[in-house]
A and B are shown apart, each in its own frame.
Chain A
Amino acid sequence: MRISRASFASALTLMAILTGTQFAAADTEVRFYYPIAVGGPLTKIIDGYAAEFEASHPGIKVKPIYTGDYIQTTAKALTAVRGGDSPECAIMLAADLYTLTDADAVIPLDDLATTPEDKKWLAGFYPAFMENARVGGKTYAAPFQRSTPVLYWNKEAFKEAGLDPDKAPANWDEMREDAKKLTKRDASGNVTRWGIQIPTDGNAAWLYTGLTTADDVKLINSDGNKTAFNDPRAVESLKYLHDLSYVDASQAKGLTSWGTTPKDFTEGKVAMIWHTTGSLGVIRKNATFGFGLGYLPAKAHFGAPTGGGNFYIFKGLSAEKQKAAFEFIKFMTSADRAADWSIQTGYVATQPASWETPVMKAYVKDVPQAAVARDQLQFAVPEVTAHESARVTKALNDAIAAVMTDSKSAQPALDEAQRQAEIALKDYR
């Protein structure tokens, strides 16, 4: 008896050793697509969070997969869904909401948020960020790296131009006047410093929404199926952007590059820029001069778009995987982590609770600019969130590019964008 019991035990041990690898593999794996940004050491931070999560959630393994920019990431995710090999979750553009639900690729988070605690978590985010997270009364996304554009200004350049270095232009007219004064030319007429730069090469529609919102027009309805690209105020906004380059000559002509704009600013080649709050970290690191951070200037009122990425969970997963992915995104979007993420990157902390944490309070005391983006949220609207968003956004971006390269004027360019959007959206009404 004894012997057999001992051998039974050792057989068990042996089995455990032999199958040990299988036990490890039986961990639930959560793969998540993440749009990498090479400017900051973001991958390290993400990897760090993933490791922390694994330590506190034994049995779940997290595998971040860096997938390029937002457009590439969504394309990859949808391709993977079509291929039946979707990851468990991903950070994708908030504006891709309809694209993802139309493709039947993601699931509502309400189905998973069953406990009162979960429900409290889901209700904790800023409403501005949740506007393009809901379809038909269901919440499909949890805000993570959310941003909003702000105005950065070079205080030394302001001083030099005889402007008050502590006062950002508050409205369109002031920004126009300031930009003219800030533009500096050498003896031969070469511009050595531009007054303003609102980059127009990739993310043009997003920053343009900063103009249209201030001018009191919504470019798209909340169902994402009706655009107002050629509304008179939308045309006026694009004309304003155009005239900065071609009438005032205080902004470089042609498309200006999203990617090099922070560098243009820190190199002193331009005195004011519009860029994401997410660039605050990079600009703080590289600027050799004092700079300010302010609201986008007002027209009818202040206004700005929200942008950036949300967490989504994909459809067709086992209940176990869904649960693991859900745990992971709860962990990643918790108040503490959102505070840490905001401090390390410059993205806006996504919930009021984050701003109450001691670390965040200390940070805001140290870097008061960080709070500007948060306070601007009260004026914010979602960026263009449409069905067929890749097509609709490209139509708008093409129109902005045509106007900013002076090859079309605002009205016909936006008429064409509206026409293309109508074609793309006709099946969604």
Chain B
Amino acid sequence: MNDVAVTPVDPSAFGRFAQNLSLETVAAWLLGVIWISPLAYAAWSAFHPQAYAAHFSLFAPLTLDNFARAWSAAPFARYFLNTTILVTSILMGQFVLSTFAAYAFARFTFPGRDVIFSLILIQLLISPDLMLVANYNTMHALGLVDTIAAMALPYIASAFGIFLLRQTFKQVPIELEEAARIEGCGTLGVLWRVYIPLARQTYLAYGLVSVSFHWNNFLWPLIITNSVETRPVTVGLSVFATPDQGVDWSVITAGALMTSAPLLLAFLLFQRQFVQSFMRAGIR
């Protein structure tokens, strides 16, 4: 193609090839269509009457009835509130704890530092929700069963967060910290004025990963919650979609879309920032 010839330095060599080879383009698009089709189906089924759930017809009437039925069949408003509280408190906790710990490991040397740091990294491999029974027993001993705190606590100290922020903090020139200290900043001031602003992209990327992980988390919340007052949307949806007298696909897909909607919307609106913050944060 022409534009290839006139572009002296192409930032992406593969771009040319993909453009030149229609076979690859077709394959890429086919993959894209396959990847989006479950969602496309869900949207189809959720916005059409139940009778059309399995009969594809262009002229099927549109309806919001399935959403209304799903919404009224279970206390979704409460579930959303619970999930929002859960996700926010985990994120806040992770930011605060990870920042302090990351700073300590990035800028201080103290006896046993590396040993302690490797002990922290164990959590990258073995996450708390693998030890279901043991952590359940701990929560029971603390009297926290069926609370939002119990859902959040095991995740608030995050090895991933500490690791990421430590990497980022290490790249901050030490001179900036020294300058801030000369201006009279204490440790908190240095963190607030120097490190945190410079690590904004890392916070954003980590925050997005954290929010989408905990919005979607299921197994631990399933075990530790018993009531509507604590149940997050994922558990609420699984309770809701349990068929005893037959499945109503339209209502279930409506419920599924509903629980996904906030994240989906946020992602569609901010997808460029989402990807870029990953790159800038150096998560690669």
Contact = CB atoms under 8 A, between A and B. Distances in A.
Direct contact of A and B (CB under 8 A): yes
B239 A66 contact: yes
A65 B226 contact: yes
Interface stretch (A36-44, A129-137, A245-253, A387-395): A36-44
Nearest to B236: A66
Interface in B128-184: 136, 140, 145-146
Contacts of B228: 65-66
Contacts of A263: 246-247
Contact of B245 (A40, A43, A66): A40
A259 interface: yes
A72 interface: yes
Contacts of A359: none
A267 B238 CA distance: 25
Given A83-B140, A83-B146, A267-B54, A39 B243 contact: yes
Label chain B's interface by main secondary structure: loop
Interface string A259-272: 11111000100000
Contacts of A276: 244-245
Contact of B146 (A36, A66, A85): A85
Contacts of A261: 246
Given A67-B239, A85-B226, A37 B245 contact: yes
A299 B271 CA distance: 63
Interface string B224-253: 001110000000001111111111100110
Contacts of A279: 245-246
A337 interface: no
A79 interface: yes
Interface in B182-225: 223
Given A66-B228, A259-B247, A267-B54, A38 B223 contact: no
A282 B246 CA distance: 8
27 contacts: A31-B227, A36-B239, A36-B242, A37-B242, A38-B241, A38-B242, A38-B244, A38-B247, A38-B248, A39-B244, A41-B73, A43-B73, A65-B226, A65-B227, A67-B239, A68-B242, A72-B242, A80-B145, A84-B140, A85-B145, A85-B146, A259-B247, A263-B247, A267-B54, A278-B245, A279-B246, A282-B245
B52 to A, nearest CB: 12
A361 interface: no
Nearest to A257: B247
Contact of A79 (B72, B223, B245, B248): B223
A258 B241 CA distance: 13
A40 B244 CA distance: 9
A149 interface: no
Interface in A71-97: 72, 76, 79-80, 82-85, 87
Given A43-B73, A260-B246, A38 B240 contact: yes
A68 B226 contact: no
A267 B50 CA distance: 12
Contact of B244 (A41, A79, A278): A278
| Central interface residue in B74, B228, B245, B252, by most chain A CB within 10 Å | B245
Contacts of B241: 38
Nearest to A260: B247
Given A82-B140, A83-B145, A85-B146, A68 B238 contact: yes
A261 B245 CA distance: 9
A35 B245 CA distance: 12
Contact of B248 (A39, A66, A69, A84): A39
Contacts of A258: 243
Contacts of A76: 226
Interface string A282-312: 1000000000000000000000000000000
| Central interface residue in B73, B223, B244, by most chain A CB within 10 Å | B244
Nearest to B241: A38
A259 B241 CA distance: 10
A43 B140 CA distance: 30
Contacts of B239: 36, 66-68, 72
Contacts of A80: 145-146, 226
Given A68-B239, A85-B226, A38 B252 contact: yes
Given A38-B243, A259-B243, A282-B246, A66 B74 contact: yes
